[in-house]
Structure 1
Amino acid sequence: MRIVFAGTPAPAVPSLRALAASSHELVGAVTRRDAPLGRKRVLTPSPVAAVAEELGLQTVKADRLDADATAAIDALRPDLGVIVAYGGLVREPLLSLPQHGWINLHFSLLPAWRGAAPVQHALIAGDRVTGASVFQLVPALDAGDVFGEVRYDVPRGATAGDVLTDLADAGAALLVDVVDAIAAGSAVAAPQAGEPTLAPKLSIADGLLDFTASADAVLDRFRGTTPEPGAHTSIGGQRLKVLAAHRGPDLALAAGELTLSGRDVVVGTADGTVLLTTVQPAGKGPMAAADWWRGLRTDDVRVDAMTSQGMA
């Protein structure tokens, strides 16, 4: 089949490479426009755009799949559209343009966690099993019939970034299998069963750690928001990014109370402690939490009360 691929971030790249290496003809890639990155705000191609150029693919750069993008995709004469984390909606007439429509690789076991941030929400919720699904794209959000899925046991301590990396590889293999089955006429899709849960895009506020919650809840939120949008707390009115954290030792600390234990900083929670190993103070680079602690002018340190309350 002639396939057009739509995707933008790094987790979409394994699927792009897998399709390029398959027996099908990859006729083009669709990705979002170059975006300013870094402190100097340099316009930078998306990871998918960079790999598409490496593969010599015709590339359509568009932030919305509007009439112009639809015309450009139509000119590629695709038999099937494949989308992986593109970052925009496929609407009619584009949805029905390829003979076989569009299929989507989504990083959850549907109907769980429909939306833009499925892995992040799964980890925040404490899910210990997740996965990836390939489904037929329909106008409703992530609601189409499912061709296949892979299940994934979340490793202890894994962050959203770690899980996405693993699922990107496992999902790419599943995706090619589904494309092969569609081409052979043997693909069978089943309706989603169960109550849907939603996974909207996260904001910086979603990374705020609530140390009045249980230690497990704090660490689930830390892992679910690492590396993006980033876990953080507030100490003395200053935002402190938390880059590495683990379950802490058995110390008698009040929720939000901090102390130095060996080479690490320990924070009390509702039922235990959390160990901070790497942090990033405002305006500075990443550093060992103990080094940050030693730079403070007082040992009387607590998480700011107004930021340790009110989390959902």
Structure 2
Amino acid sequence: MRLVFAGTPAVAVPTLRILAATHEIVAVVTRPDAPLGRKRVLTPSPVAAAADELGLPVIKAARLDAEVTERISALHADLGVIVAYGGIVREPLLSAPVHGWINLHFSLLPRWRGAAPVQRALIAGDAEIGVSVFQLVPQLDAGDVFAMRPVPVPSDATADVVLDVLADDGAVLTADVVDAIGEGSAVATAQSGEPTLAPKLSLEDGLLDWSQPLGMIFARLRGVTPEPGAHTTIDGARLKILAAEPAASDSPALAPGELQGTKTAVLIGTASNPLAVTRVQPAGKGAMSATDWWRGLHGHDELRAGS
């Protein structure tokens, strides 16, 4: 089939690659180049880079306005496929392809509709997540579902690791749905159950509350890593926590927010067992091991996380 593909981040690339191998991609729509790194160098999105490698025509657009709609409509595509593009498809573009648009979403719909399904699922402590391919409609992630695939959440995995797993599984599932639509055998069913929402994370979502038990704190840390990042305050300064794990069962009991250095980590007390922090980034500095950061502090006994 003639496909229009819309996507931006790395998690969309596996789907683009698998579809390009078996169908005609008449256009790849992605967000414009963005400044990256300390030098703020304009850099193509991962999808744009992959499309260039595959020799596919690219449309870079911050939003799908009338001009972009006209360009896509003129291609007479059979189907649109969208994976984390970062913009809303509205009419008349929604109906421009013969079969409309399908969307790969990283949750088991209707759970976690929105921009951050994996992150919200991890924060909530979900044991299972998955991927859904559904018919795009004007309402947020509310269309009929062609296929879903549950995936157990990898133990202790952070959001970026889980997304990589789902990106590969979702690419295969999306390709199967595209083939079925082309063959005329695809069947979509209405979503069933009470929807939950997964709005985009803010910096405040990464703030750890040491009065909570370890399980809740570690779940939040996994969900906000790598973005927007888990953090706490030490003596009024923000400390980003880049890597951590539940402390060993024989670790000393610590009061919530109490700090204790060891040879391999810095322990921070919670309402239950401590969190063992192994890598941090202090405000205005680069990433470093937690033990190096701890050795550089003065007045250890007077400092507490969250202060």
For residues 224-282 of structure 1, give each alpha carbon's deviation from its aligned partner in whole angstroms, at most 9, with x where no partner exists.
00011111111111111111111113422110111012321000001111110111111
**Other-structure match for 2:21:** 21
Structure 1: how far apart are the matches of 2:306 and 2:6?
A: 43
Structure 2: how far apart are the matches of 1:251 and 1:124?
A: 26
Structure 1: how far apart are the matches of 2:61 and 2:296?
A: 47
Q: How does 1:127-166 map to 2 (within 5 A)?
A: 127-166=126-165
For residues 44-70 of structure 1, give each alpha carbon's deviation from its aligned partner in whole angstroms, at most 9, with x where no partner exists.
111001111111111111111110110
Is contact 2:209-2:306 (8 Å) kept? Answer: no
- Secondary structure in 2 matching 1:173: helix
Q: How does 1:248-259 map to 2 (within 5 A)?
A: 248-249=247-248, 250-259=251-260
- Secondary structure in 1 matching 2:300: coil
Structure 2: how far apart are the matches of 1:173 and 1:210?
A: 39
Paired letter, 2:273:
G
- Secondary structure in 1 matching 2:220: helix
| TM-score, normalised by the number of residues in structure 1 | 0.96
What is the Cα deviation at residue 75 of structure 1?
2.1
**Other-structure match for 1:5:** 5
Structure 2: how far apart are the matches of 1:151 and 1:4?
A: 27
What is the Cα deviation at residue 155 of structure 1?
1.3
Is contact 2:34-2:45 (8 Å) kept? Answer: yes
Q: How does 1:68-107 map to 2 (within 5 A)?
A: 68-107=67-106
- Secondary structure in 2 matching 1:234: strand
Q: How does 1:1-312 map to 2 (within 5 A)?
A: 1-22=1-22, 24-249=23-248, 250-300=251-301, 301-305=303-307
Paired letter, 2:33:
D
List runs of 5+ in structure 2 lacking aligned partners.
Answer: none
Question: Which 4+ residue blocks in structure 1 deviate beyond 4 angstroms?
Answer: none
Higher alpha-carbon deviation: 235-244 or 3-12: 235-244
- Secondary structure in 2 matching 1:271: coil
| Percent identity of paired positions between Structure 1 and Structure 2 | 66
Is contact 2:153-2:162 (8 Å) kept? Answer: yes
Structure 1: how far apart are the matches of 2:74 and 2:32?
A: 19
Is contact 2:210-2:306 (8 Å) kept? Answer: no
- Secondary structure in 2 matching 1:27: strand
Give the root-mean-square deviation of aligned CA atoms: 0.9
What is the Cα deviation at residue 167 of structure 1?
0.2
Structure 2: how far apart are the matches of 1:49 and 1:194?
A: 36
For residues 177-221 of structure 1, give each alpha carbon's deviation from its aligned partner in whole angstroms, at most 9, with x where no partner exists.
000000000001111000000001111111111111110110000
**Other-structure match for 1:310:** none
Paired letter, 1:182:
I
**Other-structure match for 1:309:** none
List runs of 5+ in structure 1 lacking aligned partners.
Answer: 306-312
Paired letter, 1:14:
P
Higher alpha-carbon deviation: 279-288 or 146-155: 279-288
Structure 2: how far apart are the matches of 1:63 and 1:231?
A: 29
Structure 2: how far apart are the matches of 1:304 and 1:73?
A: 51
What is the Cα deviation at residue 92 of structure 1?
0.2
| TM-score, normalised by the number of residues in structure 2 | 0.97
Structure 2: how far apart are the matches of 1:275 and 1:170?
A: 32
Structure 2: how far apart are the matches of 1:274 and 1:206?
A: 18
